[in-house]
Chain A
Amino acid sequence: MPEEHNHNDPFEDLFRKKAEEYDISFKEQDWHALEEKLDHHQAIVSYKRRLRWVAAAALLIVSTLGYFTYQNYSRIDQLAQQLNEETQSESTTNPQAESPNDALTELDPVVPEQIPQEDSQTNSMDNPPASNNQITEAVSTGNEEAEDLENTELTNTEGEELTTFSNPRFMADSLFIAQSISEITPSSVSGTPPSSTTISTSKVTQPERSLLAFNRDASQSSYGSLQSPARLEIGLLLSPDLSTVGGVSNFHEPGYKFGISVGYQVTENLSLSSGMVHSTVKYTAQPQDYNTPSYVNYGITPNEMLAECIILDIPVGLKYNFKHSEHSRFFSSASLSTYVMLNEDYQFNYSPDYGPQQRIGEQNVQSGKAHFMSNLGLSIGYEYDLQTNWSLRVEPFLKVPLKNVGWGNVKLYSMGTFISVNYRL
């Protein structure tokens, strides 16, 4: 009790004593008022929770739609580019078809405009009398070849039509098989095999050729992906940490982050990512930006609160590569972070009016409390391939709060730039 309190003042004693002699009856209407407040509070909490789920669902839907839309446009661009390349190659290639003695040649659809539309769209397979397996592919590179193609059929020796390539999927599959064979038996390209199976191509109409080109590309793509086993990757990352509360301003001294990341490639451009990041977060907060338990400051409002917290950040998110070059790519990512509060140190600075011994208050908390999906992480970055399986990433990020975290109940904003080394398994 401070000295200035006058314990000899009977007037003060009277009020102190009487204040403890309370006998207050309960009123039902007070409970009803409190019940209404509780219901209202519960409604707000439920609304915020629903809003959070709706926002997450909307983000997921928009991301998914954006991804597929982008993929679709990429595919169209790819097809257009392929058609252009084929048009150019057509004008420069030797017009003569490969000799049937060549063990393997490659099917190369001609420019659609140069192929007349006809009804006889059949392919057949020739089995030579000697039963030699010879894989031959007619290369058509001009009007003459188009004529040849029109007259070429895939038949057996009896002239029996074996297969009709009216089904585009079958056409692509057959082509894929032929290409696979060519990959498996490269020696047959130059040498003369003991037996041969001749595969030639009849005329193919314009839409079928487009589809053929598309399916061949798809087959190549599938085949390529089958050859790429590196779907899982791990990384070591490091970043400075600039954190603040209440808004993206008023930064205190920087902290740092380090940790590991794990990624799983779902498609060529889309990856699931997660990890564990040990974060040392330092920030300063004004009284309106935090809500510590009220018993700590005994009703006195500090001028500011300084915090240094050690947080385990567990993000789960998606990473999308949106621009490629030969050895590098740009990407963006979005993640939801769960913060586990490992250690929290707080210092309260009071007004100088309270005297030197009361100017600073301290609080240490080691709760280990987890704030599930408390922050949304957004980043954009650049990845460069150092070697076949190693890459280096630079990834500026911003983490915005979805809810309050820590003993101080703060809305924690963080930003920095991850530098990471990644290895594809």
Chain B
Amino acid sequence: MFYAYGMSITLRYTESRDQAAAVLNDAFMKVFTNIKQYDTDRPFKPWFRRILINTAINQYHKTKKQQQLTEFLSPDHEIEKEETIISGISYQELIEMVQKLTPAYRTVFNLFVIEGFTHEEIAGMLDISVGTSKSNLSKAKRNLRAILEHYLTH
């Protein structure tokens, strides 16, 4: 039950299923070792979700230098395309698209669009400025649109 739920979150923050499984395992370890701190009066799922997101963000920070290098080598992820609304796409296909984004774009996109954090909160979590957060979101959306269109035309 919580495996699928956990994977549905960690998959969006990582580049592959193996990485997602590793982050999920780290999150489970935190749950097991800190289970005494869990307030039983509160629902478990939000607590678990918070741990999953924090673990994914920790993983993002650990590989930040490598990410910056990757982004520097391939700076042009922006592809100008018209917006296309597609509803027939599967969950698996959507995840694969998100995983194609660079870690910085992917993380901001997930935190803002899926999790609902503000740019101020995201800036605090990722140690970036609010402007960078907004910029990364904009670029992430543009890139996803391009990837989506490419997917539909091939």
Contact = CB atoms under 8 A, between A and B. Distances in A.
Interface in A5-31: 5, 10-12, 14-16, 18-19, 21-27, 29-30
A224 interface: no
A301 B125 contact: yes
A4 B118 contact: yes
Contacts of A15: 94, 98, 109, 113-114, 144
A351 interface: yes
B47 A295 contact: yes
Nearest to B32: A38
Interface in B130-146: 130, 141, 144-145
B29 A38 contact: yes
B151 interface: no
A300 B125 contact: yes
B94 A30 contact: no
Nearest to A36: B25
B99 interface: no
Contact of A301 (B8, B25, B26, B124): B124
Contacts of B91: 18-19, 21-23
A21 to B, nearest CB: 5
A336 B85 CA distance: 66
Given A14-B86, A15-B114, A22 B7 contact: yes
A299 B25 contact: no
B5 to A, nearest CB: 8
A18 B117 contact: no
A358 B120 CA distance: 11
Contacts of B40: none
Contacts of B123: 353
Given A299-B53, A351-B124, A24 B4 contact: yes
B153 interface: no
A41 B25 CA distance: 12
Given A10-B85, A22-B8, A293-B34, A299 B117 contact: yes
Interface in A312-338: none
Contacts of B57: 299
A1 interface: yes
A4 B46 contact: no
Given A294-B51, A295-B47, A299-B53, A30 B124 contact: no
A23 B85 CA distance: 23
A301 B123 CA distance: 10
Interface in B33-47: 33-34, 37-39, 42, 46-47
Residue among B21, B32, B117, B124 having the largest count of chain A Cβ atoms under 10 Å: B124
B121 interface: yes
Contact of B8 (A1, A16, A24, A34): A24
Contact of B118 (A2, A26, A27, A295): A2
12 contacts: A11-B83, A15-B94, A16-B113, A19-B94, A23-B4, A27-B21, A29-B21, A37-B29, A41-B29, A291-B34, A295-B51, A407-B37
Interface of A: 1-2, 4-5, 10-12, 14-16, 18-19, 21-27, 29-30, 33-34, 37-38, 41, 291-295, 298-301, 350-351, 353-355, 358, 407, 409
Given A5-B112, A295-B39, A300-B124, 5 more contacts: A15-B114, A15-B144, A19-B91, A293-B34, A294-B30
